[in-house]
Amino acid sequence: MDLGLKGKTVIVTGGSGGIGQGLVVEFAREGANVISASRDAATGEKLVKRAREQGCTGTILPVATDVTSRASVDAMVATAHKRFGPVDALVNNAGGVKRNCEFDQLDDETRRWEIALNIDGVVNCIQAVASDMLGRGKGSVVNISSNSSLLGEAAQQVVHYGSTKGFVNSLSKTLAYEWGPKGVRVNTIAPGWIVPHRDEDVSSGSFWNRLEFVGTPEGMQQALEAGTLPNMSHLPIKRLGRPEDIAHLAIFLASEVSGYITGQLIVNFHFQYFGSEGRVAIVAGAGSGIGAAIAQRFAEAGAQVIGADIERAAVDSLAAKVTGLTARTCDVTDSVAVDALIDGAVQRFGRLDVMVNNVGSAIAGWLKDATDADYQRVLALTLTSAFHGTRAALRVMLPRGSGSIINISSGAGFGGAPGLATYGAAKAGVNNLTLTAAVENARSGVRVNAISPGAIRTPAILAWAESLPGGVPAYEATLLPGRFGRPEEIAAAALFLASDEASFVNGAVIPVDGAACARVAAIDIPKL
């Protein structure tokens, strides 16, 4: 894959550890110049050799760094400048647990140690690269958090560690809001158990070598299968996460392909485009806007795509320009028509790998003035269509034990949007439909996820914005990043979710909204 990182300067802290090794090698595989910042510089030198043996085209530069020391961090960044130039991306991976204990047994030394590493270390590194990124108006910060910041169960006997990672989560969202208008994105990955492939793939200071209750990397899979692995006994997907799983997502977030994703907290993702075998995908609502962008992106990635829309002329026009795209007419509010669409794809291509439910409709107006007809139309096009598409896709994917269903939701599904009560309720239904379908089928090999776009430059949004005081420019100026998102940016996220390398992503609703959902602000209710 080529995500435009060739020649970019990337700092990975904690680069000698399990996840860190995966990050360093995979960024180098993308052609980036990677600074492996770690106290264990000797392991960094081994990564240089490993990357060379694997044919990685990027350069790896190990730099001995103590992230708890601002002077050490500044010296590391100065080395990066001297060797490669300004920093384009920072991955704050350094972190750890000093010891596991109940909270009432927590001593001051342990508490200060973990604050210094997991909080001060992140702050030091972000501040050290701030001038590079803010001065040029571009850059990506990816912070590695932990599921212990989100789940009490995952923080058993490490509540002090989970608390420091909670700080990182909040820092990321707030900084994304503050730096978004300045062109710098900040996102967070919260891994669960991510296990190196071999015992030797850990640094000297890794918790694998310090915390006896963890066990060894090579023994983790056995523990998982035996149902004795902490926090993982009931994992729906019966495999361990590996360092490359986190690395692939970090690469995605560091690249401009994810240019409209900021302020997000994501758990256990990874990235790769379609394989050469060629996938079969159906995109409903492919006639324009987001749907057309997704259909085109999938086709360009090597998939056989059926673009379906109630307006046949629109998808015919798209199919004339895009190789690998077949146009179909379908009324997605009709379950019989949806079943026929999917059956037709299977009959022609032998399978269905991806189903994208993109159809939706909003009718603006106060709830008290909404008619039954308005309600039924919005519900049918927005929620019922997703229900039909999800159900029909499951029926053909489950027997094969593989497939990816992607529902296009909206930020209106997360909170109250004045004038969009029916639409918001329908999108909230799409979100819950997604989560429930994912949980019900988690062990089947079929994944169900959703994307929640923000304000995307589509004909419908532009027409609505033009009706507001000041028109499109005035509305666009109010958006947190200062611009509309592009349909292509939603398509990039959909391609990620559709790929095999997203096999550990299931039941997620991913905002692609320029940090809109990360914002907490008092907003005047508009007059309709």
Backbone φ and ψ for 309, nearest 5 degrees, come out as: -160, 155
CATH of 9-207+240-266, one of 3.30.70.3270, 1.10.3720.10, 3.40.50.150, 3.40.50.720: 3.40.50.720
What pLDDT, on the 0 to 100 scale, is given for residue 120? Answer: 93
What pLDDT, on the 0 to 100 scale, is given for residue 365? Answer: 73
Nearest Cα to Cα of residue 356 among 267, 289, 276, 295: 295
What pLDDT, on the 0 to 100 scale, is given for residue 206? Answer: 57
Residue 26 CA to residue 152 CA, distance in Å, equals 32
Angle, CA of 438, 440 and 446, to the nearest 5°: 50
| Tens digit of pLDDT at every position of the chain (528 positions) | 578 899 999 999 988 777 888 899 999 999 999 999 988 777 777 888 888 888 899 999 999 999 999 999 999 999 999 999 999 999 999 888 777 777 878 788 888 988 999 899 999 999 999 999 999 999 999 999 987 787 665 666 778 888 888 899 999 999 999 999 999 999 999 887 777 655 555 555 555 554 454 556 666 766 666 666 655 544 556 677 788 888 888 999 999 999 999 999 886 533 334 443 468 999 999 999 999 999 999 988 888 899 999 999 989 999 988 888 999 999 999 999 999 999 999 988 889 999 999 998 877 778 888 888 888 898 999 999 999 999 999 999 999 999 999 999 987 777 777 777 888 888 889 999 999 999 999 999 999 999 999 888 888 888 878 888 888 888 888 888 888 889 999 999 999 999 877 888 999 999 988 888 776 554 444 444
Active-site residue (options: 177, 260, 423, 475): 423
Residue 267 CA to residue 370 CA, distance in Å, equals 39
What pLDDT, on the 0 to 100 scale, is given for residue 521? Answer: 52
Domain extents for the chain? 9-207+240-266, 280-514
What pLDDT, on the 0 to 100 scale, is given for residue 272? Answer: 35
CA distances from 418 to 140, 234, 310, 339 (A): 33, 41, 29, 35
Query: Catalytic annotation on 423?
Result: yes
Q: Residue 153, exposed/middle/buried by CB under 10 A (0-12, 13-18, 19+)? A: exposed
CA distance between the termini of the chain:
47
CATH of 280-514, one of 3.30.360.10, 3.40.50.300, 3.40.50.720, 3.40.140.10: 3.40.50.720
Angle, CA of 68, 72 and 77, to the nearest 5°: 115
What pLDDT, on the 0 to 100 scale, is given for residue 181? Answer: 93
Nearest Cα to Cα of residue 489 among 180, 247, 262, 175: 262
User: Which residues does 76 contact at the CB level (< 8 Å), separation at least 6?
Assistant: 11, 35, 37, 63, 65, 128
422-431 per-residue burial string, b: 16 or more CB within 10 A, e: under 16: bbbbbbbbbb
What pLDDT, on the 0 to 100 scale, is given for residue 499? Answer: 87
**0.85 surpassed by pTM:** no
- Interhelix angle 70-83/121-136, rounded to 10 degrees, is 40
CA distances from 166 to 150, 171, 178, 266, 442 (A): 8, 9, 19, 13, 27
Q: How far is CA 424 from the centre of its chain?
A: 23
245 near 269, Cβ under 8 Å? Answer: yes
- Strands of the sheet with 139-144, listed across from one edge: 60-64, 33-38, 9-13, 89-92, 139-144, 184-189, 265-266
157-178 per-residue burial string, b: 16 or more CB within 10 A, e: under 16: bbbbbbbbbbbbbebbbebbbe
Q: 309 forms bridges with which residues in the sheet?
A: 329
Nearest Cα to Cα of residue 491 among 429, 408, 368: 408
